[in-house]
Structure 1
Amino acid sequence: MLAGVVLASGPAAAGDHDNGAPDAVRRAVEAGEIKSLADILASVRGKLPGEVAGVEIERQRGRWIYELRIVGEKGHLYEAYVDARSGEIERIKEK
């Protein structure tokens, strides 16, 4: 279950002036540059150590990355970094 979704931006890298802005994200999805959040959540379902509790998207070095906050069993917190173009989980770290 998705408890909340946050589209936020972190520090912008050079050339990433529209980092995480909703209009920039929408344009990237419409252009086929990245997958939609719904597609990403469907592709990672069952591969994460818990339930998605929050989402951010940002551009890092010219690439869009979804950052998923996960609440696992026993209340453990994780962050999963997912490539927005391919949908591949790049890494999961415990917080």
Structure 2
Amino acid sequence: MRNPFKTAAVAVSVVAAAAMLASPTAFAKDDDSRSEIHQGLKQGDIKSLSDILVISKDRVVGEVIEAEIDRKGGKWIYDLELIDPQGFKSKVKVDAKTGDVVEGAKKAQREERRDERREERR
């Protein structure tokens, strides 16, 4: 039997990911940010969202449903909103240059361990 929530969540994730992978500048807040982001991409200070998702896939649990990029403390940071396989939302911040999870990693790790324990019980 199909779970309609899971089907909807997957559909939303696919559409959101496709839209976001086009370009980080597509979800910048203003024109100045767009030009800064474009410059950062050209200079290698910012990785594309698709690259970031590949780099951080083992540390970020769930499907990205929303993403923004902002400069915080002199660094470009991707703010990612995720939905996990159980349908729970979480947020994580990822360094746009390195792919390092800078906030939310502990929660993601806890959720990953929780999922592993569930799998072991089956």
TM-score bucket of the superposed structures, by smaller chain: 0.7 to 0.9
Partner AA of 2:27 in structure 1: L
Q: What is the total number of aligned residue pairs between the two structures? A: 85
Note closer, same or farther for the CA distance 1:45–1:89 as it changes in structure 2 (3 Å cut): same
Indicate which of 49, 71, 95 corresponds to 2:83.
Answer: 71
Q: Look up the match of 1:31.
A: 43
Structure 2 gaps of 5+ residues are: 1-12, 21-25, 109-122
Percent identical across equivalent pairs? Answer: 32
Partner AA of 1:7 in structure 2: F
Confirm or deny that 1:48 pairs with 2:60: yes
Larger Rg: 2
Q: Look up the match of 1:13.
A: none
> Is the Cα contact below 8 Å between 1:2 and 1:54 reproduced in 2?
no
Point out the structure with the larger helix share. Answer: 2
TM-score, normalising length: structure 2: 0.60
Relative CO higher for 1 or 2, CA cutoff 8 Å, sep ≥ 6?
A: 1
Q: CA deviation at 1:86?
A: 1.0
